[in-house]
Amino acid sequence: MRLKAFSRLLFLATAMLMAGLASAEYQLNLKPAKTALGEAVYDLHTLVMIIITVIFIGVFGFMFYAIFKHRKSVGHQAAHFHENTTVEIVWTVIPVFILIGLAWPATKALLEMRDTSAPDMTIKVTGYQWKWGYEYLDDDVKFYSSLATPRDQIQGDAEKGEHYLLEVDKPLVVPVGKKVRILTTANDVLHAWYVPELAVKQDAIPGFIRDTWFQAEETGTFRGQCAELCGKEHGFMPIVVNVVSEDDYKIWVAEQKSAGGAAAYDPGKTYSVAELTSAGEAVYKAHCVACHQPNGSGMPPTFPALTGGMISTGPIANHLDIVLNGSKKNPMMAAFGAQLSDMEIAAVVTYERNALGNSLGDSLQPGEVAAARK
């Protein structure tokens, strides 16, 4: 009997798989939650899994008993019953009670989950194709957060780092133990803000705001991803939340305000090509690299090459115009005027002209960008 030998082999393989899973520490369950609400969700999941397992074993215990005992090959004669009102009522009513038992904790957790009242702070999260925008409504801090994993890791040209695809240039920073209310919206299509360990997932809908909340109970770095299909880079817009002590949070906010990120510049100063080029690299990686590629080769004809490109090596005013206002001819080139600061635009334009295989040597000053905006 080849089949018998085969099924024995199968049994062995399954046993080995189970042993393997048990020995190596695989993540087989929800990740342990870092919020009280997350714990409630975790417990609810455990409860429903216990109920399911018990019913499963019960029902299929009967089935496998029947399969082994009530088979023709052991000479079992078929009975002829085909209904039993009592039994049928029992197995309709008992599940109803089990479900009521489940609905109770589920309702409690749900009401808790949707209670966004009395927050300690509010952060607006905006989904963009393909990055996140964060705006602290109480502290007046605002920035974009995009994938920091280098493209060569994704293409397999470099070894993948520990936090491959789950690392960003600027993480969200929040204080521990505070109720953080998240308002979500989106710029273009649907996105969803999802951080498993904080038990948060909320769709971001263009034109409308939605709210959710979390209150982290320990400090640490928590990583998540966009959970709603939003186009080609959907898999490449991670979320990183740094939960820090309240003091550290205050220091961080102060830093943000004084530095103003790359947005601040000294209006009296003339920046050198080198300064702008080095500042521009980060901007390029955050906003341009998905289409124009790390080396500037683009994907012609849709996404033209910047290396030796018509615009990136042409008059600098045209170059500035297309970055600021988008392209009139090629609808794929978006306007970045609203997203990037004067300094960032000056830096990225200079970078594109003096890196990626170009070396024009000219530069754009942030003041000129401000002037071009009128």
Partner 1 sequence: MSQSVLKRNRETLRKLVVVALLMFGFGYALVPLYEKICEVTGINQVVKPDTVVNTQVDKSRTIVMEFDANARGDIAWELIPRERKRTVHPGELVHVVFDLKNTTDVSVQAQAIPSFGPQRAGLHVKKLECFCFTQQEIRAGESRELPVVLVVEPTIPQDVHTVTLSYTMFEVGGTQEPKTAMRPTGGNG
Partner 2 sequence: MEAVHEHDHSHDHPTGLMRWVTTTNHKDIGTMYLWFSFAMFMVGGVMALIIRTELFQPGLQVVQPEFFNQMTTLHGLIMVFGAIMPAFVGFANWQIPMMIGAPDMAFPRMNNWSFWLLPPAGTLLVLSMFVPGGSAGVGWTMYAPLTVQQGMGMDLVIFAVHILGMSSIMGSINIVTTILNLRAPGMTMMKMPLFVWTWLITAYLLIAAMPVLAGAVTMTLTDRHFGTHFFNAAGGGDPVLFQHIFWFFGHPEVYIIAIPAFGVISQVIPAFSRKPLFGYASMVYATASIAILSFLVWAHHMYTVGMPVEAQLYYMFATMLIAVPTGVKVFNWVATMWKGSMTFETPMLFAIGFLFLFTLGGFTGLVLALTPVDVQLHDTYYVVAHFHYVMVAGALFSAFAGVYFWLPKWIGKMYDETLGKWHFWLSIIFFNLTFFVQHFLGLAGMPRRIPDYSLQFADFNMISSIGAFGFGLSQLLFLYILIKAIRSGEKAPEKPWDGADTLEWTHLPTPAPYHSFETPPTVK
4 sits near partner 2 (criterion: CB under 8 A)? no
52 sits near partner 2 (criterion: CB under 8 A)? yes
151 sits near partner 1 (criterion: CB under 8 A)? yes
Residue 137 token pair: 């409504």
3 state SS of 186: strand
234 sits near partner 2 (criterion: CB under 8 A)? yes
The rounded distance, in Å, linking the Cα atoms of 159 and 153 is 6
C-alpha distances (whole Å) from 191 to each of 62, 134, 137, 187, 300 are: 46, 14, 21, 9, 28
The rounded distance, in Å, linking the Cα atoms of 242 and 237 is 16
196 sits near partner 2 (criterion: CB under 8 A)? yes
Closer to partner 1 at the Cβ: 53 or 302? Answer: 302
Q: Is the peptide bond before 193 cis (omega within 30 degrees of 0)?
A: no
Nearest approach, Cβ of residue 116 and partner 1 (Å): 6
Considering only residues 333 through 362, tell me which ones interact with partner 2, judged by CB under 8 A.
Answer: none
Single-letter amino acid, residue 306: L
Could you tell me the strand order of the sheet in which 180-186 lies? 141-145, 131-136, 121-128, 180-186, 210-214
Nearest approach, Cβ of residue 203 and Cu ion (Å): 10
Burial string for 45-68 (b: 16+ CB within 10 Å, else e) reads eeeeeeeeeeeeeeeeeeeeeeee
3 state SS of 40: helix
Give bridge partners of residue 244 from the DSSP assignment: 175
- Assess contact for 29 and 36: CB atoms under 8 A: no
Q: Is the dihedral of CA 136, 142, 144, 149 positive or negative?
A: negative
Q: Out of 23, 77, 117, 270, point to the residue binding partner 2 (CB under 8 A).
A: 77
Considering only residues 108 through 147, tell me which ones interact with partner 1, judged by CB under 8 A.
Answer: 115-119, 122, 124, 126, 137-138, 140
Binder of residue 32, out of partner 1, partner 2, Cu ion, none (CB less than 5 to 8 A by kind): none
83 sits near partner 2 (criterion: CB under 8 A)? yes
Q: Out of 210, 223, 261, 263, point to the residue binding partner 1 (CB under 8 A).
A: 210
Complete DSSP assignment for 236-287: G-EEEEEEE-HHHHHHHHHHHHHHTGGG---TTPPPPHHHHHHHHHHHHHHH
Closer to partner 1 at the Cβ: 239 or 340? Answer: 340
Closer to partner 2 at the Cβ: 114 or 250? Answer: 114
Give bridge partners of residue 186 from the DSSP assignment: 127, 206
* CA-closest candidate to residue 209, choices 130, 123, 291: 123
Closer to Cu ion at the Cβ: 226 or 347? Answer: 226
208 sits near partner 2 (criterion: CB under 8 A)? yes
Q: Out of 5, 32, 86, 111, point to the residue binding partner 2 (CB under 8 A).
A: 111
Considering only residues 278 through 297, tell me which ones interact with partner 1, judged by CB under 8 A.
Answer: 290-291, 293, 297
Q: Which stretch binds partner 1 (CB under 8 A): 24-32, 75-83, 225-233, 309-317?
A: 225-233
Closer to partner 1 at the Cβ: 212 or 363? Answer: 212
Closer to partner 2 at the Cβ: 62 or 220? Answer: 62
Burial class (CB in 10 A: 0-12, 13-18, 19+), 111: exposed
Q: Out of 7, 14, 107, 302, point to the residue binding partner 1 (CB under 8 A).
A: 302
235 sits near partner 2 (criterion: CB under 8 A)? yes
Burial class (CB in 10 A: 0-12, 13-18, 19+), 5: exposed
Q: Out of 167, 169, 188, 248, point to the residue binding partner 1 (CB under 8 A).
A: 188
Nearest approach, Cβ of residue 145 and Cu ion (Å): 12
Considering only residues 156 through 215, tell me which ones interact with Cu ion, judged by CB under 5 A.
Answer: 191
Q: Would you tell me which residues interact with Cu ion (CB under 5 A)?
A: 191, 226, 230, 237
Q: Would you tell me which residues interact with partner 1 (CB under 8 A)?
A: 115-119, 122, 124, 126, 137-138, 140, 151, 155, 181, 183, 185, 187-188, 206-211, 231-233, 290-291, 293, 297, 299, 302-303, 324-326, 331-332, 334-335, 337-338, 373-374
